[in-house]
């Protein structure tokens, strides 16, 4: 988003209730911006299934699990996260995310990051600027 875009939710002094926010959408792999600060987005996403392999050459990506069991698969190992746990994927490192059953996850990353990174645009590529 550019500075001329509408101000994202949570940037006007309101308290964000994660359970309430997650209750407002049902689709998977479509991150919503819940707040923006210092060039970063706080995105909420529901996931189920397996996401394509990709990397982000210019950005770290942090995943914090709110509900469910969430996997971050790396080429040499798999990280499994449960609610209250987070992991930072180093920039440039190939990864794909997955969940057998639906999980709810917060993502912290620069606002310009596209969810599918350097992978070809696909049905998994989320539209930018969705808010919640």
Contacts to Ni ion by CB under 5 A: 61
Helix H or strand E encompassing 22: helix 18-22
Nearer residue to Ni ion within complex by CB, 31 or 68: 31
Choice between 3 and 57, CB closer to Ni ion: 57
Shortest Å, Cβ 56 to Ni ion: 6
Which of 119, 130, 5 has its CA nearest to residue 57?
119
For Ni ion, which is the closer residue by CB, 41 or 61? 61
**Residue with the closest Cβ to Ni ion?**
61
Least separation, in Å, of the C-beta of 132 and Ni ion? 19
Q: Give the nearest distance from C-beta 96 to Ni ion in angstroms.
A: 8
**Strand, coil or helix: 95:** strand
**Cβ-contact 26, 47 below 8 angstroms:** no
Instruction: Provide the minimum distance between the beta carbon of 103 and Ni ion in the complex, in angstroms, as a whole number.
Output: 15
Among residues 61 and 104, whose Cβ is nearest to Ni ion?
Answer: 61
Give me 50's structure tokens: 């397996």
Q: How far is 100 from 81, CA to CA, in rounded Å? A: 12
Q: Give how far the C-alpha of residue 71 lies from the chain's centroid of Cα atoms, to the nearest Å.
A: 13
């Amino acid at each position: 988003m550019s500075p001329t875009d509408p101000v994202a939710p949570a940037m006007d002094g309101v308290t964000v209730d994660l359970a309430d926010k997650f209750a407002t959408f049902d689709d998977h792999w479509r991150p919503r911006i819940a707040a923006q600060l210092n060039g970063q987005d706080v995105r909420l996403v529901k996931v189920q299934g397996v996401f394509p392999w990709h990397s982000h050459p210019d950005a770290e990506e942090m995943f914090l699990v709110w509900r469910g069991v969430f996997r971050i698969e790396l080429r040499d190992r798999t990280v499994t996260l449960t609610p209250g746990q987070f992991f930072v994927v180093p920039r440039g490192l190939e990864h794909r995310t997955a969940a057998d059953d639906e999980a709810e996850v917060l993502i912290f990353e620069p606002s310009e990051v596209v969810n599918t990174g350097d992978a070809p645009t696909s049905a998994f590529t989320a539209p930018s600027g969705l808010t919640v």
